[in-house]
């Protein structure tokens, strides 16, 4: 029988729309203005912390809707944005610098709905407010670190193979290795080529200077840059988590840049300090045989280097690195028995093994902790990038009294430095310095204004479409309007279901565009039905032909638009991605509601019946 859906298909349509509606419901409850408290200074957010916060807010006359302590974080809900700002200042002052206090927006979804997986759409920076950073990775420094590591590897490998060399240095043309004769050079070249497939070796012998020059291959250079970018992204994500920011965005842009968006954060100074800091540590043995005064005059022994000591003076350290901060698994600021700041370090298994083996052979000898940091000089390089200054200073020198394992402490720091160093070491060191090339701050009031403007645009756009369809297509227009409403509900539901989907202002524009595009399919179908009726077809045949013949046209138009949106999602960033995601979801749901949904209703009303006239 023409125009009759089987029961399972009607149930499928009802089920799909019902699921979409269920996941869209949490968006009706809105969000509460909240203040989030996270411990980042070795402290702990406990019930007493919550009690202190509640008492402070009560004394300030700030009404608290609800306080929640979960996963070591405290979330305090207040009535409005003004109270939120006052509460943040009061809590920050009461708790001190052992806690990070950030502005936030918490979903007001009932517990029973949240337990069933219901949650509202995540809002982007332009709708929620917060800070946006565009950061660039110093790839030159990443390559320099790689070549320094290669110099150390070549030195170790040649010594292990007992191939004598006159010297190794990182020169302007690459890593230069000098030999005393051509035979040794040839032997070394053959050996190093077998060990380092990622390096290109060239014999640069001139006269009696037997020199082998090594440079990284283009493929290896690209690999180093890619690893530097990915490692920095991972480190920045860890640091953002340490800051306690809800729903942050950390993603790459191009080959050398990273976008960091922190919704709800208004303290840009604190965020910049933590995100762009590149502090790390290295452990070196002290060169006791070196004359410090002679080294300060420029006569530094081979294999050693002169460093300044914090608090004054200098010390000569051996260049060989005993251990780097890469193996640090945990770091907590604390105080020793004399109330002096220190950082308690916990190494991973590999780091603990390395440190144990190194220290057991150096008991009774002094070891130094070298603090390394890159700072913005405020100047620009010739290529327009920010000029960074490398600061290296010895923060402590201590005699190794016994074999050290996975746990030890670092001393010689100021209180604030110990806290920041612990946070940075927990999050991991940046493999190369990053500097901020763009910074934007969006206030929560501007975000709310964006939401209101976007909603007004959507409401007015939808109202015009609904009125036009109802007037022009009458009964069938009413069905199209029902499908359009269901489509919008499904878009919201799907956006709420997808974990990584974020609604931005361009995303609202995508929803407005979807409202206009969603009725295109119905217009094509209805016009085809009208045409079939004018050609003398019966009502049932006209409906059947209208839906059947218009499908290919609707599919072609929507598939090409979907592919365009997919390309935008693949190559775009930030707001462009938000627009593309909303548009793709809107296209998929509109095809379902326009073709399957409306036909289900049409079949239920007119299918299989003797009808002489349609309300179209």
The CATH T-level fold of domain 279-414 is Gyrase A; domain 2 (3.30.1360)
Query: What pLDDT does 306 receive?
Result: 92
Place of tokens 């045989």: 289
Given this chain, do its domains 7-25+445-606 and 31-107 carry the same CATH topology?
no
Confidence of residue 421 (pLDDT cuts 50, 70, 90): low
Query: What pLDDT does 481 receive?
Result: 92
- Ordered by start, the domain boundaries in the chain are 7-25+445-606, 31-107, 139-220, 279-414
Residue partners of 584: CB distance under 8 A and separation at least 6: 562, 565, 566, 569
Q: State the helix-helix crossing angle for 268-276 and 218-243, rounded to 10 degrees.
A: 140
Query: What pLDDT does 269 receive?
Result: 61
What is the DSSP secondary-structure string of 92-103?
HHHHGGGEEEEE
Query: What pLDDT does 101 receive?
Result: 78
User: What is the average per-residue pLDDT within 251-258?
Assistant: 86
Place of tokens 């052992």: 98
Quick one: what percent of the chain has pLDDT higher than 70?
87
CATH class belonging to 31-107: alpha beta
Q: Is the pLDDT of residue 525 over 80?
A: yes
User: What is the average per-residue pLDDT within 46-54?
Assistant: 87
More confident site: 508 or 239: 508
Q: Is the pLDDT of residue 155 over 60?
A: yes
User: What is the average per-residue pLDDT within 63-78?
Assistant: 84
pTM for this predicted structure = 0.58
Q: Is the pLDDT of residue 384 over 70?
A: no
Query: What pLDDT does 244 receive?
Result: 57
Please check whether residue 36 is in contact with residue 74, taking contact to mean a CB–CB distance below 8 angstroms.
Answer: yes
Q: Is the pLDDT of residue 266 over 60?
A: no
CA distances from 601 to 184, 215, 477, 486, 514 (A): 87, 70, 12, 13, 21
The segment with the largest mean pLDDT, out of 120-134, 331-345, 381-395, 483-497, is: 483-497
Please check whether residue 396 is in contact with residue 367, taking contact to mean a CB–CB distance below 8 angstroms.
Answer: no
Place of tokens 């006569």: 299
Q: Is the pLDDT of residue 15 over 90?
A: yes
Residue partners of 456: CB distance under 8 A and separation at least 6: none
The segment with the largest mean pLDDT, out of 27-41, 115-129, 217-231, is: 217-231
Q: Is the pLDDT of residue 389 over 60?
A: yes
Q: State the helix-helix crossing angle for 575-591 and 505-518, rounded to 10 degrees.
A: 20
User: What is the average per-residue pLDDT within 207-219?
Assistant: 87
What is the DSSP secondary-structure string of 330-395?
EEEEEE-TTS-EEEEEEE-HHHHHHHHHHHHT-TTSEEEEEEEEEEEEEEE-TTSPEEEEEEEEEE
Among 142-151, 260-269, 358-367, which stretch is predicted with the lowest mean pLDDT? 260-269
Confidence of residue 278 (pLDDT cuts 50, 70, 90): low
Among 281-295, 336-350, 511-525, which stretch is predicted with the lowest mean pLDDT? 336-350
Please check whether residue 329 is in contact with residue 348, taking contact to mean a CB–CB distance below 8 angstroms.
Answer: yes
CA dihedral 460, 466, 471, 474 (to 10 degrees): -170
Please check whether residue 213 is in contact with residue 201, taking contact to mean a CB–CB distance below 8 angstroms.
Answer: yes
Q: Is the pLDDT of residue 128 over 70?
A: yes
Please classify residue 407 by burial: count the beta carbons closer than 10 Å to its beta carbon, then call 0-12 exposed, 13-18 middle and 19+ buried.
exposed
Confidence of residue 415 (pLDDT cuts 50, 70, 90): confident
Confidence of residue 482 (pLDDT cuts 50, 70, 90): very high
User: What is the average per-residue pLDDT within 440-449?
Assistant: 72
Q: Is the pLDDT of residue 386 over 80?
A: no
CATH class belonging to 7-25+445-606: mainly alpha
Query: What pLDDT does 556 receive?
Result: 86
Query: What pLDDT does 18 receive?
Result: 93
Mean pLDDT of the chain: 82
Q: Is the pLDDT of residue 41 over 60?
A: no
CA distances from 595 to 487, 510, 549 (A): 12, 21, 12
Q: Is the pLDDT of residue 529 over 80?
A: yes
Quick one: what percent of the chain has pLDDT higher than 90?
10
Query: What pLDDT does 243 receive?
Result: 59
């Amino acid at each position: 029988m023409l125009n009759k859906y089987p029961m399972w298909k009607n149930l499928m349509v009802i089920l799909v729309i019902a699921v979409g509606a269920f996941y869209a419901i949490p968006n009706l409850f809105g969000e509460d203005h909240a203040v989030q408290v996270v411990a980042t200074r070795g402290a702990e957010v406990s019930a007493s912390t919550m009690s202190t916060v509640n008492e402070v807010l009560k004394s300030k006359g700030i009404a608290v809707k609800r306080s929640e302590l979960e996963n070591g974080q405290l979330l305090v809900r207040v009535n409005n944005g003004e109270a939120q700002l006052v509460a943040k200042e009061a809590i920050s002052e009461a708790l001190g610098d052992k806690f990070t206090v950030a502005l936030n927006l918490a979903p007001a979804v009932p517990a029973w709905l949240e337990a069933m997986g219901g949650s509202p759409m995540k809002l982007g920076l332009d709708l929620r407010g917060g800070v946006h950073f565009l950061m660039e990775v110093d790839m030159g420094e990443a390559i320099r670190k790689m070549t320094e590591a290669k110099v150390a590897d070549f030195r170790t490998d040649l010594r292990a193979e007992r191939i004598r060399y006159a010297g190794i240095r990182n020169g302007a043309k690459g890593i230069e290795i000098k030999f005393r004769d051509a035979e040794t050079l040839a032997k070394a070249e053959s050996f190093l080529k077998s060990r380092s497939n990622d390096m290109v070796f060239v014999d640069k012998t001139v006269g009696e200077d037997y020199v082998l020059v090594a440079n990284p291959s283009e493929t290896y250079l690209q690999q180093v840059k890619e690893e530097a970018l990915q490692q920095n992204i991972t480190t920045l994500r860890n640091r953002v988590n340490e800051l306690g920011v809800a729903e942050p965005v950390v993603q790459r842009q191009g080959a050398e840049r990273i976008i960091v968006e922190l919704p709800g954060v208004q303290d840009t100074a604190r965020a910049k300090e933590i995100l762009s800091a590149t502090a790390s540590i290295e452990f070196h043995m002290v060169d006791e045989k070196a004359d410090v005064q002679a080294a300060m005059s420029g006569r530094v022994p081979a294999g050693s280097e002169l460093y300044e000591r914090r608090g004054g003076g200098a010390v000569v350290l051996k260049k060989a690195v005993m251990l780097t901060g890469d193996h640090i698994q945990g770091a907590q600021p604390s105080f020793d028995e004399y109330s002096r700041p220190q950082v308690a370090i916990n190494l991973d298994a590999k780091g603990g093994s390395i440190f144990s083996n190194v220290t057991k052979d150096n008991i009774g000898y002094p070891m130094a902790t070298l603090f390394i940091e890159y700072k913005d000089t405020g100047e620009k390089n010739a290529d327009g990038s920010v000029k960074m200054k490398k600061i290296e200073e010895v923060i402590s020198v201590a005699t190794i009294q016994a074999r050290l394992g996975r746990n030890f402490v670092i001393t010689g720091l100021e209180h604030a430095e110990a806290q920041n160093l612990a946070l940075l070491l927990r999050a991991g060191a940046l493999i190369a310095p990053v500097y901020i090339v763009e910074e934007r701050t969006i206030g929560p009031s501007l975000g709310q204004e964006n939401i209101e403007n976007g909603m007004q645009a959507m409401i007015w756009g939808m109202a015009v479409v609904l009125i036009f369809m109802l007037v022009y297509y009458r009964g069938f227009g009413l069905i199209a309007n029902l499908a359009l409403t269901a489509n919008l509900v499904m878009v919201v539901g799907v956006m709420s279901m997808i974990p990584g989907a974020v609604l931005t202002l361009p995303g609202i524009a995508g929803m407005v565009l979807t409202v206009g595009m969603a009725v295109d399919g119905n217009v094509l179908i209805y016009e085809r039905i009208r045409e079939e009726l004018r050609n003398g077809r019966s009502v049932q045949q006209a409906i059947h032909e209208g839906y059947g013949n218009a499908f290919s046209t609707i599919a072609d138009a929507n598939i090409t638009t979907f592919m365009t949106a997919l390309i935008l999602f693949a190559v775009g960033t930030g707001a462009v991605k938000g627009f593309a995601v909303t548009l793709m979801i809107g296209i998929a749901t509109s095809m379902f509601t326009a073709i399957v949904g409306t036909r289900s209703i049409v079949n239920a009303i007119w299918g299989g019946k003797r009808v002489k006239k349609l309300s179209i």
